[in-house]
Each structure stands twice: as C-alpha cells, then as structure tokens.
Amino acid sequence: MSQIILDEHLGRSQVLQPIQHWKTAKRIQDLRPGEVVKDDRLPTILIHLEKPTLVTIDGGLWKKRFCDRRYCILYFSILDTQQNQIPSLLRQPFT
C-alpha cells in the first residue's frame, strides 16, 4: 500500500487532517524535521520510502527530472485557495 506524502505547500487543516481520516499521510517536513527540503532533495527522500506518492500543487515538480519509477508525484493544477478539494480528489483512487 502506498503512503501519501504532502508537499510543503499543502496545509494541515485543509489537506493533511482530512486525508488522515482514511489513509496514512505525512507532510514532507515531518520526514525531515528542522530541515528545509528543497525540490532537488525530494527524489532522494522519496526513494527511501515504501511506495510513496507525493501530492503537490507546485508546478515546478512537474518536470521530467523528477520522474522515477520508485515513487509517484501527483500534481494538482489548482490555486492555493482550492487545496481543500484535494482530499476528495484523492479518496476514490486510494480507498
């Protein structure tokens, strides 16, 4: 079963907490407490997790250099103010 990892741009109350009602989810900052996780470090972190799915609204992560078969990146092209829609968009494919 894959684990959901949320990018730093996604909020706890709008995204993380609703997802945690039905799936294990963490924020990238929870994996590296006290560190600033730059986009270039994400692949290194993700490949050490078991079946991770990174969820983001950061269009910069939608580049070929971030592609790897050891993890999944789900990019939602939505406004920051619309991120509360993400839990319902994820629920059907992950349950």
What are the pLDDT digits (tens) for 1-22? 579 999 988 999 999 999 999 9
Q: For tokens 């103010």, what's the residue? A: 81
What phi and psi, each to the nearest 5 degrees, are found at residue 71?
-155, 170
Q: Is the pLDDT of residue 86 over 90?
A: yes
Residues in the chain, overall count: 95
Report pLDDT for 27: 95
25-81: pLDDT as tens digits: 999 999 988 888 888 889 999 999 999 999 999 887 777 777 889 998 999 999 999
In the sheet where 72-75 sits, what is the strand order?
25-27, 3-6, 52-56, 72-75
- Residue pair 32/83 in contact (Cβ under 8 Å)? The answer is no
Task: Give the structural domain span for 64.
Answer: 3-94
Token duo for residue 57: 């609204």
| Number of domain units in the chain | 1
Whether this model's pTM surpasses 0.85? yes
